[in-house]
Structure 1
Amino acid sequence: MLRLLCLALALCLTLPAAGSAQSLQTLLQTHADEVVKPGRRTVGAVLDDLLASGLPQVVPFLEAWRDREIVRREEDGFFLRRVDDVLFDLDTGAEIGSADGVDLKPSRPNGGVRRALGDALVQFQLSDPDITKRQAAVQAIQRSMDASQLAPLQGSIADEPDPALKAVKTRLAGMLAARFADAPEARIAAIEALSGDLSVDVRATLNQILATEVEAAPTLPEDRNIARVLTPGTDIPEGEAYALLVSQDLAPALTTSDEIRQTLAENIDGARVGGVPVARLNTDAARAEAYAALATDGKAAPLVTEDDRAETLDSYTFFEAYAEPNADITTAARTALDGIETRVAISQAADLGLDALSLASIYFLAAIGLAITFGVMGVINMAHGEFIMMGAYTGYVVQLFVPDYTLSILIALPLAFAVTFGAGVTMERLVIRHLYHRPLETLLATFGISIALQQLAKNIFGTQARPLTSPGWLDGALVFNDVIAISYIRIAIFLMALIFLALILYVLKRTRLGLEVRAVTQNPGMAASMGINPDRINMLTFGLGSGIAGIAGVAIGLYAKVTSEMGADYIVQSFMTVVVGGVGNVWGTLAGASLIGFLQKGIEWLNPSNTLAAQTYMILFIILFIQFRPKGIVALKGRAAAD
């Protein structure tokens, strides 16, 4: 009695100053045994009372209880929080002293209780003023997807102040309702609302509703939600079907050859087994006869043969049954999932097309300069990839001095053109002009120059990849849905390819230089007789093609790694683009880049695990293509076409 009076007095001292509000300590004393020794079955009553109390101390207490920091002082039965060797009051959070020398009994909730505490904490955190805690609560629900979370999640949606988080809560509540809502009509409505969502987790939710299990019965049961009837040997292997019957004690296990041999060996009586001479047991039929005799005498289990298995399978019906008993719900889920999968397939095709278009624009930028030098001049420039590399390194150097990435890119584009234009003119004046109409010597000379330029880049910049950082407004991706997305850098490269297409067409069609280039391309001798200097035009043309390669290097450097070998990654594709599209034709280069880009992405989609094999198949296809159309997709017209 004295102890009870002391406990009552202590509880009174812990009440708030107002005296009318209930304290957490008082509430815990009503469930003292459950708090000290919590169990999965008993913790529910404690949590219900804690949640109903509305006390702000409940959340810190649940966190401490989950983390096994709650102890009970044996002297007066008070519950306290212990952190290291310091004790804290549960109502005020104030430090009340050291744990040294105090007789304490810890509360150690097991894994199931701690999960229940975590679920209870989620319900509090869904309406916490701190948005990070609300986001953490939503993420916890996404991981567990439990039926008990539906009601508190739905209750928190109306008062959610953050629009983005509110949308996430609404979507998550829809998935929970599709699986766990009480009324079938509510579940069907939630399923139909999800039918426009292409996300993976929505598809996973619908697949969980449509989960099936293979069963067998003498006749098709009318009380089950049947997904489909299975035919042994067609829809399900016969061995698997019979194993199902054996596991359900509907049929005896098939007698194997090893079991027959072992049983016969154990029952040899003199020179006979089951009345059959041992000398005759060299065939399956004789062994089966002897085993059957042993089974008749009760010395072996009944013989079950392949014929018996076939007869047993014919006497049972095999089917897949939904775990969800309501056929209307599974029908709605199947309709929604079929529609989603159709739109996902269409979206995947569109996403693949965007990837192919992006790759085609990269190949076009890399090849358009080569199309000018190779197509107009007939020069096989193996150093074209190194001009791309020079342009990328020019962009990197500019960013070292101009930290504003947007401004640095605007400076790097014309500067890369100037640098590679000068390098191209120098190369043409010193080497190429002496090797016209000597393609083998030109190839070897430019190949040697490419190696020299690679080594020079290694000596200056090292062998490690250098960053060419895109502006902040190019970060991220344009997202159409959960399947279709394309990065802003790829969009920028695509737009740059269109700009260069228009610019080159303007130069070739609307300027004097373009007129002279086309004249030299069509008939160099006639152009020279009309006062055009073919030597000067060749120099400017080679410089123009090299300068465009430098600009392409800046664009490609924003997307790919900038190294001394980066040009080698694009030289083969550039030559293939020019040859397939049609030598000396801008539209042909565009067509060739589109064909190669879409072809490569298509092959990679068919064989995603081996990109090297995809490139090999692409090269083989192009070789076959050139056999049937040697002048490319857009053949050059005029006298040059006959050269």
Structure 2
Amino acid sequence: MRQLVLAFLALVLSCLSVTAQETAIQPLLQEHQAVIVKSSRKTIAPAIDAIANSGLPQAQQVLETWAAKNMWMRKSDGLFFIGEKGAGKTYDLTDFDTGETIGRYEKSELKQLKPNSGIRAMIGTALVQFQLSDPDRTKRQDALTSIQRDPEAALLQPLRASIAGESDPDLKAQKLRLERLLTIGYDPDTGARVAAISDMSGDLGVDVRATLNPLLVTTRMAALTLPEGVNIARTLTPGDDGFPKAEAYALLVETNRAPAIVTADDMRAALAANIDNGTVGGTPAALLNTEAARQSVYEVLAEAGKVPPLVSEADVEQALANHVFFDAYSEPSREVTNAAEDAMKDISLNVGINQTLDLTLDAMSLASIYFLAAIGLAITFGVMGVINMAHGEFIMMGAYTGYVVQQIIPDHTVSILVAIPLAFAVTFAAGVAMERLVIRWLYNRPLETLLATFGISIALQQIAKNIFGTQARPLTAPGWLDGAWVINDVVSISYIRIAIFFLALIFLGVFLFIMKRTRLGLETRAVTQNPRMASSMGINPGRVNMLTFGLGSGIAGIAGVAIGLFAKVTSELGSDYIVQSFMTVVVGGVGNIWGTLAGATMIGFLQKGIEWLNPSNTLAAQTYMIVFIIIFIQFRPRGIVALKGRAAGD
């Protein structure tokens, strides 16, 4: 009886020992000890996979410890532990299976595992399946990012398994999308792949196109007959369909289906290599001074098997006739490639529509910038008839005013709110001073006005350089204007551009209110239409001209603050916009705010359209635009919206 009890206890202990070994990860580490210690990227994959797929709860901790370079091997027995720095050159070792600290060891008794960046990347990929369901949201997000960066077939099932338990709506949406993409690329079920492609059809995401494009990659091939079981994209005829005969024969040569064509240089090299006592194939080398002689001797050498045979035109034609040429998909499933082609067509159409929308938004944004820069010039040039070449410098002064305000007021939102009215005041005063001191003496003398304002422009630029230097100064937008409104992967527009667009609309309304609802607007319109009659009615044309010029200059200053938020603030800032401002006013119609708006819209759309057709050369786009405008003015010299009165030359 006693012997039976002892035998039973031994059996129980044996089972417990087996169970402990089955739930311990140390035996698995010992099984791959040599590979782990060697730490070679070429051989480490089986060890990482074995740990990750072991199903043991310690697997995640082992991989994380290994990647963090905190895994140590005890040299005496080759066991692996978690190592933590102790006093001096000692380390405290913790067992992976029990979680107990087994003691403190000298560094000389241990070996630290230091995986390189490549191995750490492989470990990171293996950790993804654990991190997908980690309680920490950050780790789950990192796992999804890792899958996006390095998708693998092995990650599809863990990803699917983690979707049902995902509590975060954003992460769940990301997981569902990634599951569809990995299904397209790696699911063994053709029907599931086709269904996933159908689900993503028309999607504008770059990741979708990156997943579908490899399915449609083709390899150009040649064979005696069309092979069975190959997913053929198209058959090709040499000489047709952009498939030259030379390219077709080169493919045959490359695949060892035909001999290479012997060129004249090849022939000379072969003859030179076969010179023997001054003769080649029994012919003196001195006689090989013609193409026919060299070819004749080369054929003798070819018959003797010393050089490759010549390939005639008939040989080429016969070789091409004996073979079929085709492009074969790398993806073997015809159903998958058909679905991918249909999806890419839908995506291409959707991308084209959205690119048009994006181009339209860009054009509207550029038009609003030109309108904002030109609205002040529409007043000074359009209403008063003054060619103010210093208008760009008022824009520059406004931008520098914003910069100075930001140096005093660090809050960018408050500084911009202060800078806008202050820039108006500064440039309004500068415009009034310029009109009183210079412009008033040069009315109806356009050439002298142009030269005088051009000189003032140069002087203002030099003053700005003396004060602020030549280095670009930052004019920082408020934080709420950072970033862009992203509609999808194709269409987006920065918040600063949106703000400038609405600012342009505001100034359009302000200008219309001033011109239609205020005394200054009434007097300005009167002076514009008939200055003598306005003077006889008690209106002071000089005062009206002064205030009008100051108003146009003040608006230019506000435009400078807006433009400075996205453009570099330098003394040449105004020079970048003066030409477009004049073109906007002239094309739109001198003296009419609606004409200025139309001109800005036309130039903005025209420039963006030309840049889209010729994206690699923006200078050429500017040139084409100017040429177009010159031609346009020839047919409509008074602009899109013509105005009668002094500004129109009546």
Same fold (TM over 0.5): yes
Of the structure 1 ranges 533-542 and 89-98, higher mean CA displacement relative to structure 2 is found in 89-98
> For 1:195 and 1:619, how far apart are their aligned partners in 2?
42
Decide whether the 8 Å contact of 1:24 with 1:90 is kept in 2.
Answer: no
Q: Tell me the SS of whatever aligns to 2:32.
A: helix
What's the CA shift for 1:429? 1.1
Contact 1:275-1:293 at 8 Å conserved across structures:
no
TM-aligned CA distance change 1:93 to 1:136, over 3 Å: farther
Match of 1:3 in 2: none
* Rounded Cα–Cα distance in structure 1 between residues aligned with 2:186 and 2:167: 26
Following the alignment from structure 1 to structure 2, what is the Cα–Cα distance between the partners of residues 247 and 453? Answer: 69
Match of 1:28 among 26, 29, 32: 26
Residues 216 and 523 of structure 1, relative CA distance in 2, 3 Å threshold:
same
Aligned equivalents of 2:101 and 2:394: distance in 1? 71
Q: Is 2:161 the partner of 1:132?
A: no
Q: d(CA) in 1 for partners of 2:542 and 2:74?
A: 100
Alignment-derived partner of residue 362 in structure 1 = 369
Say yes or no: does 1:387 pair with 2:385. Answer: no
Aligned to 1:147: 153
Deviates more, 1:431-440 or 1:330-339: 431-440
1:30-429 aligned within 5 A: 30=28, 32-38=30-36, 44=46, 47-48=49-50, 51-55=53-57, 57-66=58-67, 70-82=71-83, 86-91=91-96, 92=99, 94=101, 96-102=103-109, 104=110, 116-234=122-240, 235-265=242-272, 281-429=288-436
Q: 1 CA distance for matches of 2:400 and 2:112?
A: 65
Size of the alignment, in residue pairs?
625
From 487, 499, 507, the counterpart of 2:494: 487
CA contact under 8 A between 1:478 and 1:486: conserved in structure 2? yes
Task: Read off the aligned partner of 2:105 and give its amino acid letter.
Answer: S
The 8 Å contact of residues 52 and 127 in structure 2, kept in 1 or not, is answered as no
Gaps of at least 5 residues in structure 1 are 1-11, 13-17
Contact persistence 1:154–1:173 (CA under 8 A): yes
Q: Give the Å deviation of 1:77.
A: 4.5
Check whether the contact 2:390–2:456 (CA below 8 A) recurs between aligned residues. yes
Q: Find the aligned partners of 1:46 and 1:278 in 2 and give their Cα distance.
A: 67
Pair 77,25 (structure 1): closer, same or farther in 2 beyond 3 Å: farther
Change (3 A) 1:411 1:31: closer
SS of the residue 2:25 aligns to: helix
Q: Which amino acid aligns with 2:74?
A: R
**Compared CA separation, residues 74 and 537, structure 1 to 2 (3 A):** closer
- The equivalent of 2:7 in structure 1 is none
SS of corresponding position for 2:387:
coil
Residue 471 in 1 paired to residue 478 in 2? yes
Q: State how far apart, in whole Å, the 1-side matches of 2:138 and 2:119 are.
A: 25
Match for residue 6 of structure 2?
none
> Unaligned 5+ residue runs, structure 2?
1-12
Q: 1:378 to 1:68 in 2, by over 3 A?
A: closer
Shift of 1:196: 3.1
- Do the aligned partners of residues 541 and 108 (structure 1) sit closer, same or farther apart at CA in structure 2, a change above 3 Å counting? closer
Q: Of 570, 593, 606, which residue of structure 1 is paired with 2:600?
A: 593
Distance (whole Å) between structure 1 residues aligned to residue 351 and residue 636 of structure 2: 37
Q: CA deviation at 1:68?
A: 6.2
How far apart are 1:87 and its partner, in Å?
Answer: 4.6
Contact 2:432 2:546 in 1 (8 A): yes
For normalisation by structure 2, the TM-score amounts to 0.88
RMSD of aligned residue pairs (Cα, Å): 3.0
Deviations for 1:235-266, whole angstroms, at most 9, x for unmatched residues? 33433322221222211122222333344445
Is the aligned partner of 1:637 residue 2:650? Answer: no
Quick one: distance in 2 between partners of 1:516 and 1:111?
76
Cα distance in 1 between the residues matched to 2:47 and 2:575: 70
Q: Deviations over 1:464-520 (max 9, x none)?
A: 333322222222211111000011111111111111112212222233322221221
Q: 1:556 aligns with which of 555, 563, 585?
A: 563
Q: How does 1:437-476 map to 2 (within 5 A)?
A: 437-476=444-483
User: Take 1:418 and 1:266, find their aligned partners in 2: how far apart are those partners?
Assistant: 88
Matched residues in 2 for 1:457 and 1:378: separation? 27
2:615 and 2:258 map into 1 onto residues whose CA distance is: 45
Q: Given that residues 51 and 59 in structure 2 are in contact (C-alpha distance below 8 angstroms), is that contact kept between their aligned partners in structure 1?
A: no
TM (norm. structure 1) is: 0.89
1:559 is paired with a residue of what secondary structure?
A: coil
User: CA contact under 8 A between 1:24 and 1:58: conserved in structure 2?
Assistant: no
CA displacement 1:196-230 (0-9 Å, x = unmatched): 32122211110011111111112222421111122
Q: How much has 1:537 moved relative to structure 2?
A: 1.4
